[in-house]
């Protein structure tokens, strides 16, 4: 006995990773369908040692399917997610379309699993932004102990966060650096990304922040606590996979760095690697393919009363998208559908 699962956007970065993770975690599957656009009709994708052919999302009938894991971007989600939901198939969506909808739960299973019961209003559950997901896994256990007042975060986000096209642009521009006649002007990013960093992700808002920065603020409030103040600077860096974050936290109560390290060691989804020596911390290339959110460089911020600094690294295609979506599917199965 298992679930009838649809992976929507199965040819994309997140979709392929969702297939890997469903298989790695032995998700109880009775039947699996893989969908993409008509362009990819018949394209083969791997699921363990099997090869599956993609079907066209536009003509797919979601009736009788239990859950659809969407990773197709907001526009296609807007068109197709309501059809799936209406057909009785619960949508778990990776786009930003439904994240701020009061009738749609926004879930990180280590942080707010109880929110799953709100899925029924629209038959849709939202997955957070990649930068938010890894940060709230780290914030929640510390908030439970010492109440967070304010977070100042700077991100170092990999190009795979901008889909296949983002990763291709870094690859092509990197090769072109050594062959200047093969000049590759930026298309996905607003400036050259190879050997550069760009302090601009998503569109600009009226107050000068970017939408990516706004998402970290709004999503942290919805998932952890509306009272937490967050200010973010989101930066794209020439790394293929793995987002990093330098996080400064101000608490209401005093929290010693050793106690914070112990709390994080015991927290779900977290791996603490924190030695004060060369290499005693995690960098993005080391987190690729892992389930954990890695925390390093935990230290007191002596410039404020109750402050801590830490370094947080995770695979953005996993905890930032595919893993979190599969964890939501597991949670929904365990708590609500109970077929597994």
Ligand X SMILES: NC(=O)c1ccc[n+]([C@@H]2O[C@H](COP(=O)([O-])OP(=O)(O)OC[C@H]3O[C@@H](n4cnc5c(N)ncnc54)[C@H](OP(=O)(O)O)[C@@H]3O)[C@@H](O)[C@H]2O)c1
Interface residue with ligand X, options 7, 130, 146, 247 (CB under 6 A): 130
- Contacting residues for 197 by C-beta, under 8 A, at least 6 apart: 156, 235, 236, 237, 238
Number of residues near ligand X (by CB under 6 A): 27
Footprint (CB under 6 A) of ligand X, residues 135-164:
160-161, 163-164
Residue 34 interacts with ligand X (CB under 6 A): yes or no = no
Residue 306 interacts with ligand X (CB under 6 A): yes or no = no
Query: Using CB under 6 A, which of the segments 66-74, 137-145, 219-227, 292-300 binds ligand X?
Result: 66-74
Interface residue with ligand X, options 5, 36, 85, 148 (CB under 6 A): 36
Asked about 312 being catalytic, the answer comes back as: no
H or E segment and range at residue 325: helix 323-332
C-alpha count within 13 angstroms, C-beta hemisphere, residue 237 = 17
Count of other CB atoms within 10 angstroms of residue 86: 12
Strand spans (E) along the chain:
3-8, 29-36, 44-47, 50-53, 55-56, 67-70, 90-93, 124-126, 148-157, 229-236, 243-251, 270-272, 293-301, 307-314
Per-residue mark of binding to ligand X, 174-213 (x: CB under 6 A)? ----------------------------------------
Q: CB of 312 within 8 A of CB of 271?
A: no
Residue 82 interacts with ligand X (CB under 6 A): yes or no = no
Residue 14 interacts with ligand X (CB under 6 A): yes or no = yes
Asked about 130 being catalytic, the answer comes back as: yes
Name the minimum Å distance from CB 274 to ligand X: 25
Q: CB of 320 within 8 A of CB of 290?
A: no
Q: Which residues are catalytic?
A: 130, 243
User: Site residues (CB under 6 A) for ligand X?
Assistant: 9-15, 36-37, 39-40, 57, 71-73, 76, 94-95, 130, 160-161, 163-164, 316-317, 320-321
């Amino acid at each position: 006995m298992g679930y009838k699962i649809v992976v929507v956007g199965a040819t994309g970065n997140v979709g392929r990773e969702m297939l890997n993770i469903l298989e790695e975690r032995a998700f109880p599957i009775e039947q699996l369908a893989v969908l993409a656009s008509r362009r990819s009709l018949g394209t083969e994708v791997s699921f363990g040692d099997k090869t599956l052919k993609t079907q066209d999302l536009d003509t797919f009938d979601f009736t009788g399917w239990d859950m659809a894991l969407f990773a197709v971007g907001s526009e296609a989600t807007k068109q197709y997610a309501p059809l799936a939901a209406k057909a009785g198939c619960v949508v778990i969506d990776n786009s930003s379309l439904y994240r701020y909808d009061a009738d749609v739960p926004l879930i990180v299973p280590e942080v707010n699993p109880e929110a799953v019961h709100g899925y029924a209003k629209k038959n849709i559950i939202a997955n957070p932004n990649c930068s938010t997901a890894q940060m709230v896994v780290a914030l929640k256990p510390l908030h439970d102990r010492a109440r967070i007042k304010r977070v100042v975060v700077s991100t170092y986000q990999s190009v795979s966060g901008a889909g296949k096209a983002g990763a291709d642009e870094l690859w092509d521009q990197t090769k072109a650096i050594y062959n200047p006649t093969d000049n590759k002007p930026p298309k996905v990013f607003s400036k050259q990304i190879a050997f550069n960093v760009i302090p601009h992700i998503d569109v600009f808002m009226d107050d000068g922040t970017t939408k990516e920065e706004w998402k970290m603020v709004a999503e942290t409030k919805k998932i952890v606590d509306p009272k937490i103040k967050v200010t973010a600077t989101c930066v794209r860096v020439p790394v293929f996979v793995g987002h990093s974050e330098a996080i400064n936290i101000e608490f209401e109560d005093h929290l010693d760095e050793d106690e914070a390290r112990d709390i994080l060691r015991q927290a779900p989804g977290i791996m603490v690697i924190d030695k004060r020596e060369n290499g005693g911390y995690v960098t993005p290339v080391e987190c690729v393919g892992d389930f954990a959110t890695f925390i390093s460089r935990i230290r007191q911020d002596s410039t404020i009363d109750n402050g801590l600094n830490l370094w947080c690294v995770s695979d953005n295609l996993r905890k930032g998208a595919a893993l979190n979506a599969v964890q939501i599917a597991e949670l929904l199965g365990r708590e609500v559908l109970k077929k597994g």
